Amino acid sequence: MPELPEVEVTRRCIEPFLVGRVIEAVHTTPASYFFLTPPGQLKKSLPGRKVGAVSRHGKYLRALLDNGQTLVLHLGMTGQLFSSGATSVRLLSAAARAALAPGEQAAFKPDKHTHLRLCFADGGPDVLFRDVRKFGKVLLLGVNGRDERLERLGIDALEASGIELFSATRKKRSPIKSLLLDQSVIAGIGNIYADEALFLAGVKPTRPCRRVKSAECHAIVAAAQRVMLRSIETGGSSISDYVAPDGTDGGYQDERQVYAREGEACPKCGHKIVRVVVGQRSSHYCPACQK
DNA sequence: ACCGCACCCTGAGCGC
DNA sequence: TGCGCTCAGGGTGCGG
């Protein structure tokens, strides 16, 4: 599931396939809530546009266009952004995977889940946006276009300090885990990195915000940044459907301490990792190390 | 005002 | 073998 590190890895990988290229044609699936900007409008507005910088805020990607418009992408739960040259069995359906000989890699062919496909005037590789569960988003912002969901975002998690988190805890009663997932406070932290950060900081996910001390907030944010930077280095977490744009798997899932390790031994003390539900999300922690 | 929860979607995995 | 149920979860929006 793409969180900040996976989105950043995606940004770095897809940037060379976007920057400086002129869009020639746009292919999409039919209109759905996936398209905040209707497909018809994308097909009308995007051709002829040259792509400039590709940036990221939280889990959102933004591609600046030469006319001042911005193409905004959110990978949602299962979004995959990659170039047409990528090969990976992870990009294929289970049925297509089963048909492959062991070890064989096949080039990806656009399927019913490939909601956006950008073709370029230079005739080089296409850029594809595939999303099985359609929780992702595509939005074309006008020159001075504003979007509430983007303006609501808090400071990017890599730029944050404990101060933003601590000041938010003073106003809330909810569990600290829920606050970490609140994108309007700190943007980019998702379920995996929230659990990992709370483990490293020794704070139980269910602890009410008001009972989290300032020093603990600093520790949580520092830990979140540490695990996310490390995850970016290793190519992100390839749990669920995430795959980097070059078709490779990330490596961070192998470094998880607690996430999806219910019943396993805590790496610090050997206690069994426990799973509870906090704010409709499964949360994993060590009952001995996290108070 | 704040918080919990349903909902959007599809495929994997499991039990019968 | 095959069907049907459950679960996963980011973000939004509603209702208590």
Instruction: Give the pLDDT confidence score for residue A240 in this predicted structure.
Output: 43
Q: How sure is the predictor about A260, in pLDDT bands with cuts at 50, 70 and 90?
A: confident
Per-residue pLDDT of A71-124, as tens digits, reads 999 999 888 898 887 766 555 555 565 566 555 566 677 888 899 999 999 999
CA distances from A67 to A21, A104, A169 (A): 14, 43, 41
Mean pLDDT over residues A49-66, rounded?
95
**For residue A2, which nucleotide's C1' is closest to its Cα?**
C10
Which protein residue lies nearest to nucleotide C9, measured between its Cα and the C1' atom? A77
Catalytic residue (choose from A21, A49, A56, A59): A59
- B9 C1' to A28 CA distance, Å: 18
Question: Which A residues between 14 and 53 have a beta carbon under 7 A from any strand C atom?
Answer: none
Per-residue pLDDT of A11-22, as tens digits, reads 998 999 999 999
User: Does residue A77 approach strand C to less than 7 Å at its CB?
Assistant: yes
The question of whether A47 is a catalytic residue gets the answer: no
Strands A70-74 and A274-278: unpaired
Question: Which A residues between 180 and 219 have a beta carbon under 7 A from any strand B atom?
Answer: 209
Instruction: Give the pLDDT confidence score for residue A90 in this predicted structure.
Output: 56
The question of whether A125 is a catalytic residue gets the answer: no
User: Does residue A114 approach strand B to less than 7 Å at its CB?
Assistant: no
* Positions of chain C reached by protein Cβ under 7 A: 7-12
The separation between CA A202 and the C-alpha centre of its own chain, rounded to angstroms, equals 25
- C7 C1' to A133 CA distance, Å: 14
User: Does residue A171 approach strand B to less than 7 Å at its CB?
Assistant: yes
Q: How sure is the predictor about A280, in pLDDT bands with cuts at 50, 70 and 90?
A: confident
User: Does residue A200 approach strand C to less than 7 Å at its CB?
Assistant: no
Residue A70 has pLDDT above 70, yes or no: yes
d(CA A10, CA A31): 25
Q: Taking Cα atoms as reference points, which of A103, A203, A38, A79 lies closest to residue A194?
A: A203
The question of whether A3 is a catalytic residue gets the answer: yes
Average pLDDT of chain A? Answer: 87
Strands A155-156 and A186-187: parallel
Q: Is the pTM of this model over 0.85?
A: yes
Q: How sure is the predictor about A239, in pLDDT bands with cuts at 50, 70 and 90?
A: very low
